Amino acid sequence: MSSVVVGAAKHQVKKITGSVKKSQFNWENYNFPPKLKIIHLSPAEFDEGHRKGIYFTIISASACLFLSVFNMITNIIATCLGTYGHWKWLILSIVNIIAFALGYLFLLNKSFKFAANVAGPLVFGISFGAAGLICFCYMLFPWIFFHGFLTPTLKTRQTGFFRVISIIEGILWFLDLAAFGLTAFFLVKDRQHHANKRDNTE
């Protein structure tokens, strides 16, 4: 009887330790961004051929951050030229960069865990949907210091500078919105792969 109990205990311990060894994600290793190390982000931990979702997330989220910086630069130029831009827009654009940086890290973290199949789809879906909605709105509408495609139509007082910027920003936000669509597609595929892999190892 005792040998049966001992054998069962050894089997359970082996099963637990084996599952730990099979874990390919070191969530305690906070390595991103470099120096700050706020979240864990390591695309190399994903299986070969199932990293597109993470790479596309990095690209699309980084593009949002880049566009917020680009917008700040356009407002600096507009303020220096004395055109329709105001110094208040410049301050708001700086605050916007900080907000985008925080959202950038949050989106990367949730996307990474979603693709690894260790987090549910609810928070990921809400955060990803919000990012896509922001891209769509900034692509079309003039919102305080952003200039979408409809800026010349809705703000007739805009100068030629902002008419050109509205086209450039609109195109860039459209490309980023398309990148988010591809990102969601690949993340779902990567998640399904790791879900199947986990089922096969249990």
Per DSSP, the residues of 18-30 read: HHHHH----TT--
> What is the enclosing helix (H) or strand (E) of 139?
helix 121-140
How far apart, in whole angstroms, are the C-alpha atoms of residue 156 and residue 174?
23
**pTM of the model as a whole:** 0.77
What pLDDT does residue 23 have? 58
- pLDDT single digits (tens) 51-102: 999 999 999 999 999 999 998 888 888 778 765 556 778 888 888 899 999 9
- pLDDT single digits (tens) 187-202: 999 999 878 876 676 5
Average pLDDT over residues 127-149: 85
Confidence of residue 14 (pLDDT cuts 50, 70, 90): very low
**pLDDT of residue 5 exceeding 50:** no
Handedness of CA 116, 64, 130, 39 (dihedral sign): positive
- pLDDT single digits (tens) 146-163: 778 887 666 656 667 777
Provide the percentage of residues in the chain whose pLDDT is more than 70: 79
How far apart, in whole angstroms, are the C-alpha atoms of residue 134 and residue 137?
5
Whether 81 and 161 have beta carbons less than 8 Å apart is answered as yes
**pLDDT of residue 6 exceeding 80:** no
Q: Where are the alpha helices (DSSP H) in the chain?
A: 2-22, 52-81, 87-115, 121-140, 151-154, 160-201
Instruction: Let me know if 97 is exposed, middle or buried by CB neighbors in 10 A (0-12, 13-18, 19+).
Output: middle
Q: For residue 166, how many C-alpha atoms fall within 13 Å in the half-sphere facing its CB?
A: 22
What pLDDT does residue 17 have? 40
